[in-house]
């Protein structure tokens, strides 16, 4: 179990209080009063930030309520054409039907937007700093311990200039620096050895992203110009994102899926 899930572990081992549900209900009921009291007492920049946060929360709540009410909303239906003659007193009356406000096109766009960043491995085990970094002694008498050596695979660009060893805090060993990855195209069912352009996101930490650390689940950008992929407008695709599917430090190579 990850380090930060100690509360979940305690619940599994020892269970919860008998009156937990009641306490949670009362806490939730008091929450509105607490928020109101804080909003009335706060002033200045703190009040401004709090109001911005509340505004976003209320907007999200309104959206949720609107989605729930979709099915029971009424609006004019222009598409419906009745068969046969219509009485004179009904000619000026619009046909009202129960329908959803959001059109299919808007819903489709939302689905596309949500599915745009779906990845092959959605959940990855977080990596602790103790596992990622090895403490290194430095100084004249080896008494200083501010240096760290990265124990995982890293990517370093061609334009990278290493700092002077005396001032370098994070050391990336040359033996663990990789510049190519074996990327599988899901539709073509073929694997290509492509150049890495950069590390887009490491799910464990932003520090690992900035250092270019490549672990399982990391999103990297690869050079796909050799594959000849073309956009709808006819432009050649230069770089594409891929997710790492193996543990590179154990396998000795980087495998991923576009």
Distance in angstroms (rounded) separating the CA atoms of residues 131 and 117: 28
Cβ-based neighbours of 153, under 8 Å, separated by 6 or more: 176, 177, 178, 213, 214, 215, 248, 249, 254
Each residue's pLDDT tens digit in the chain (258 positions)?
A: 566 788 888 888 988 888 999 999 999 999 999 999 999 999 999 999 999 999 999 998 888 888 777 655 555 555 555 666 667 666 655 555 545 545 666 766 776 666 556 677 777 888 888 888 888 888 889 888 888 888 888 888 877 778 887 888 888 888 888 888 888 888 888 888 888 888 888 888 888 888 888 888 888 888 888 777 777 677 777 888 888 888 888 888 888 888
Over its C-alpha atoms, the chain yields an Rg (Å, rounded) of: 28
Distance in angstroms (rounded) separating the CA atoms of residues 198 and 209: 10
CA angle 240, 244, 249 (to 5 degrees): 135
Question: What's the pTM value of the predicted model, to 2 decimals?
Answer: 0.53
């Amino acid at each position: 179990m990850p380090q930060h899930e100690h509360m979940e572990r305690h619940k599994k081992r020892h269970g919860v209080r008998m009156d937990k549900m009641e306490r949670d209900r009362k806490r939730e009921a008091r929450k509105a009063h607490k928020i109101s009291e804080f909003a009335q007492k706060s002033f200045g920049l703190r009040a401004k930030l709090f109001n911005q946060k509340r505004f976003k929360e209320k907007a999200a709540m309104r959206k949720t309520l609107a989605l729930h009410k979709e099915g029971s909303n009424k609006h004019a239906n222009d598409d419906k054409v009745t068969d046969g003659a219509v009485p004179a007193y009904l000619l000026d009356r619009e046909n009202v039907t129960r329908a959803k406000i959001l059109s299919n096109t808007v819903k489709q766009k939302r689905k596309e937007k949500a599915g745009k960043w779906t990845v092959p491995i959605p959940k990855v085990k977080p990596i602790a700093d103790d596992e990622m970094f090895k403490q290194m002694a430095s100084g004249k008498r080896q008494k200083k311990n501010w240096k760290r050596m990265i124990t995982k695979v890293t990517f370093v660009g061609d334009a990278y200039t290493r700092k002077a060893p005396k001032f370098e805090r994070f050391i990336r060993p040359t033996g663990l620096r990789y510049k190519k990855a074996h990327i599988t195209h899901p539709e073509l069912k073929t694997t290509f050895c492509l150049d890495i352009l950069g590390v887009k996101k490491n799910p464990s930490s932003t520090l690992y992203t900035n250092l270019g650390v490549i672990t399982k689940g990391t999103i990297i950008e690869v050079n796909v110009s050799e594959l000849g992929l073309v956009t709808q407008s006819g432009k050649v695709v230069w770089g594409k994102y891929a997710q790492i599917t193996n543990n590179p430090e154990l396998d000795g190579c980087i495998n991923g899926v576009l």
